[in-house]
Amino acid sequence: MFDLIIIGAGPAGISAAYEAQKLNLNYLVLEKNLIGYTIYQYPVGLTVFSTVNELELEPNTLFPAREKPTREELLSYYTRFVLEKNLSIQWEEAVGAVEKISENHFVVKTEKGEYESRKVLFATGAMQHPRRLNVKGEDLPKVHHLFRETYPYVKKHALVVGGGNSAGEAALFLAQEGAFATLATFRKDWEETDPKQGCIKHWVKEPLEAQLEKNCLDVFFLGGVVEIKEREIVLEDENGNVETLPNDAVFILIGSDADLTMLERLGVEMKDSKYGRIPIYDEETFETNVAGVYVVGHFTEARHIAGAIEVPKKIVPLIAARFALEKSA
Ligand SMILES: Cc1cc2nc3c(=O)[nH]c(=O)nc-3n(C[C@H](O)[C@H](O)[C@H](O)COP(=O)(O)OP(=O)(O)OC[C@H]3O[C@@H](n4cnc5c(N)ncnc54)[C@H](O)[C@@H]3O)c2cc1C
């Protein structure tokens, strides 16, 4: 019987594992893909927007070549951290179900086995379901819901749909490296400057504007995407006019949603927030209405890597204190 099973080995799961290890808890992390898989999926060569102190698991341990780390430096940092601290993580093992048997007794089921635990912490992030436009042609092989790299699209007509930073960065990579790049976005997203609204960050927007001036990028102010065809894309502009553009590749980067199914099956209550549907949890302990089930990371309101790392530092000691209390009772 484990004290704590942590599901997911992103920054939140790694931070929780490190805390559990320091407190001598008998813990295990189960990760569906790879250590830091969300970061692994960032575009190749991306420089992240967070500062070093927001990304570090321990102060003064991350040393990027420039001011901010690249995807590769960050992924290397988290992977080496896991290996050097000898954290107990089993990757390429997806959790398919969690059942509550009784107080302090959960069964966590994967495709490889079943594990028993007194508490369960979900650190599964919010990347499982990339949002779809639900338009005709969206299942064509040239349509992607993730942007990895630009080189297959040099001198090709590549169109990015989206208004946030991921869409802006993809359009910039494509424009800078020789694709015929178009960013199809709503005007209000392009003109938004409040970072809290999830707009394109100014250090992405400014080089995008430079690409626009050099005619290496087009910005199309969308009414909507009408249809994606083999060699073209049909768009409606902000005034309702329909235009057909030549097209070889489409990147639909309009956000993604968490998979809350396992939590819902456990009976965890959900609410609508500005981030979409999220679990309801105690703001101090991050425990849900189902006793012994905790949530941390990007599908809670403590988002981004800084929140994903900080919250486990606070709540895993509370879980350990609960164990001590239960033992002495
Ligand atoms: C392109 C891009 C750039 C970004 N840049 C930044 C940045 O500069 N700064 C910043 O703070 N944030 C950034 N973010 C957001 C950041 O990646 C997330 O906030 C962060 O990864 C959240 O950490 P997490 O541990 O909560 O979730 P994740 O990192 O998403 O980790 C969740 C893990 O759970 C695993 N998992 C899911 N389901 C299961 C299951 N059933 N069984 C087992 N494992 C499971 C997943 O495989 C994954 O590894 C960026 C995001 C993108 C897409």
Using the mean position of ligand 1's atoms as its centre, give its distance from the Cα of residue 10 in Å: 6
Q: Which part of the chain is CATH 3.50.50.60?
A: 2-128+258-328, 129-252
Using the mean position of ligand 1's atoms as its centre, give its distance from the Cα of residue 327 in Å: 35
Using the mean position of ligand 1's atoms as its centre, give its distance from the Cα of residue 215 in Å: 34
pLDDT tens track, the chain, 329 positions: 999 999 999 999 999 999 999 999 999 999 999 999 999 999 999 999 999 999 999 999 999 999 999 999 999 999 999 999 999 999 999 999 999 999 999 999 999 999 999 999 999 999 999 999 999 999 999 999 999 999 999 999 999 999 999 999 999 999 999 999 999 999 999 998 887 777 898 999 999 999 999 999 999 999 999 999 999 999 999 999 999 999 999 999 999 999 999 999 999 999 999 888 999 999 999 999 999 999 999 999 998 999 999 999 999 999 999 998 887 87
Residues 6+ apart with CB under 8 A from 82: 9, 14, 17, 35, 89
Residue whose C-alpha is closest to residue 90's, from 73, 111, 60, 70? 111
- Rounded Cα gap, residues 287 and 261, in angstroms: 17
**Atom nearest to 303 CA in ligand 1:** 19
Q: What are phi and psi of 253, to 5 degrees?
A: -120, 75
| Among the four given CATH numbers 3.50.50.60, 3.40.50.2300, 3.90.1210.10, 2.40.30.40, the one describing domain 2-128+258-328 | 3.50.50.60
Residues 6+ apart with CB under 8 A from 96: 109, 110, 111, 262
| Among the four given CATH numbers 3.30.420.480, 3.40.50.300, 3.30.930.10, 3.50.50.60, the one describing domain 129-252 | 3.50.50.60
Nearest residue CA, atom 41 of ligand 1?
A: 95
- Rounded Cα gap, residues 62 and 134, in angstroms: 41
Strand partners, 97: 109
Using the mean position of ligand 1's atoms as its centre, give its distance from the Cα of residue 277 in Å: 17
Radius of gyration of the chain (CA): 22
Using the mean position of ligand 1's atoms as its centre, give its distance from the Cα of residue 39 in Å: 6
- 140-152: burial string, b at 16+ Cβ within 10 Å, e else: eebbbbebeebee
Residues within a 6 A CB radius of ligand 1: 7-13, 30-33, 37-38, 42, 48-50, 94-95, 123-125, 127, 166, 297-298, 303-306, 308
